[in-house]
């Protein structure tokens, strides 16, 4: 149970990052697992080769994820929609291939022996690691909340709706798309770092394209651009496979069907604008206020 919970919390962090890119700035990304992986590999390398603790390497991991996000984002955001989707898929495959074939990254064997996180000398495992992940998840959600309330959100919104109109209002589309990309990849890096320290062993396959599809499915299911949508989506798609264990081979098929149903009936996601959940719960919330 705790294992599933921890992994869900870690994935939810990554999906929150994806939400900043896809939901807030409207830039489709099908390569988010690559950035999750970059965070994980950076943390793993610092831990195993440099002997740095999770805490010491965290700022570096965030910085490197953000920097690589920036470098890969620069060319990516110049293309739009379908092309951006394909470009990000390409990024995912390239990053995965580098992890798999460059000996520095452990090659096909991956990187093992990553230590667990210590907190004031106490090794975190089981429930305490889960709590740590929850703390990070809430910090990330706090950041997303702040982003949603800030000027940047209105600007991003304007770009998503009408890029050209936004530019005539003095909003630089390139700047904001890139900003969202960098923030999103940095958040993925945090998730990746937690993942590496939790699993203690990582390999390139953990960050392959189907993982990216999974992230995007979770986001679409929960509701793009919403605050809690990523968490809900990750929760549902994280628990479902455990319940339907016998169907594990058909997981991708189920995801696909679920996505099609969502896009047909609830395009805004479970927590999106005008969704059934909103209609039911919003009146209740209003009474409380």
Binding site for other proteins (CB under 8 A): 151, 154-155, 157-158, 161-162, 164-173, 273
Distance CA 258, CA 245 (A): 17
- Residue 175 CB, shortest distance to other proteins, in Å, is 8
Region at 27 (left for phi over 0; alpha for psi -120 to 50; beta for the rest): beta
- Supply φ then ψ for residue 259, to 5 degrees: -60, -45
- Residue 166 CB, shortest distance to other proteins, in Å, is 7
Region at 85 (left for phi over 0; alpha for psi -120 to 50; beta for the rest): alpha
- Residue 284 CB, shortest distance to other proteins, in Å, is 22
Given the structure tokens 């929850």, which residue do they identify? 134
Distance CA 143, CA 149 (A): 10
- Residue 67 CB, shortest distance to other proteins, in Å, is 25
- Supply φ then ψ for residue 119, to 5 degrees: -125, 110
- Residue 174 CB, shortest distance to other proteins, in Å, is 9
Burial 251-260 (b: 16+ CB within 10 A, else e): eeebbeebee
* Residue nearer to other proteins on the CB measure, 49 or 78: 78
The pairing of beta strand 118-119 with beta strand 122-123: antiparallel
* Residue nearer to other proteins on the CB measure, 172 or 256: 172
- Residue 44 CB, shortest distance to other proteins, in Å, is 41
> What DSSP string runs through 75-126?
HHTTS-HHHHHHHHHHHHHHHHHHHHH-GGGTGGG-B--PPPPEETTEEP-T
Given the structure tokens 């800030």, which residue do they identify? 150
Q: Is 167 exposed, middle or buried (0-12, 13-18, 19+ CB in 10 A)?
A: middle
* Residue nearer to other proteins on the CB measure, 71 or 165: 165
- Residue 165 CB, shortest distance to other proteins, in Å, is 4
Give the dihedral sign, CA 166/171/175/180: negative
* Residue nearer to other proteins on the CB measure, 33 or 152: 152
* Residue nearer to other proteins on the CB measure, 85 or 158: 158
- Residue 88 CB, shortest distance to other proteins, in Å, is 25
Cα three-residue angle 152-190-1, rounded to 5 degrees: 120
* Residue nearer to other proteins on the CB measure, 121 or 164: 164
* Residue nearer to other proteins on the CB measure, 159 or 183: 159
* Residue nearer to other proteins on the CB measure, 61 or 166: 166
């Amino acid at each position: 149970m705790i294992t599933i919970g921890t992994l869900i919390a870690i994935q939810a962090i990554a999906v929150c990052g994806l939400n900043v890119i896809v939901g807030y700035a409207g830039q489709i990304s099908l390569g988010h697992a690559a950035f999750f992986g970059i965070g994980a590999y950076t943390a793993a390398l610092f831990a195993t080769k440099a002997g740095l603790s999770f805490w010491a390497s965290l700022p570096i991991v965030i910085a490197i994820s953000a920097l690589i996000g920036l470098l890969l984002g620069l060319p990516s955001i110049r293309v739009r929609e379908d092309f951006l989707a394909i470009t990000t898929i390409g990024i995912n495959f390239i990053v995965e291939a580098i992890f798999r074939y460059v000996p520095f990254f452990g090659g096909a064997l991956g990187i093992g022996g990553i230590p667990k996180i210590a907190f004031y000398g106490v090794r975190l495992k089981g429930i305490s690691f889960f709590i740590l992940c929850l703390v990070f998840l809430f910090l990330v959600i706090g950041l997303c909340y702040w982003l949603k309330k800030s000027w940047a959100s209105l600007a991003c919104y304007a770009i998503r709706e009408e890029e050209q109109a936004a530019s005539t209002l003095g909003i630089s589309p390139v700047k904001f798309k890139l900003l969202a990309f960098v923030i999103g990849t940095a958040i993925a890096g945090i998730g990746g770092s937690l993942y590496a320290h939790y699993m203690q062993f990582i390999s390139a396959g953990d960050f392959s394209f189907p993982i990216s599809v999974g992230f995007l499915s979770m986001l679409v299911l929960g509701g793009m651009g919403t605050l809690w949508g990523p968490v809900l989506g990750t929760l549902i798609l994280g628990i479902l496979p455990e319940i339907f264990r016998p169907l594990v081979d058909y997981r991708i098929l189920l995801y696909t069907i679920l996505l099609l149903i969502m896009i047909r009936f609830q395009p805004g996601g479970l927590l999106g604008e005008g969704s059934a959940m909103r209609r039911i719960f919003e009146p209740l919330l209003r009474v409380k206020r």
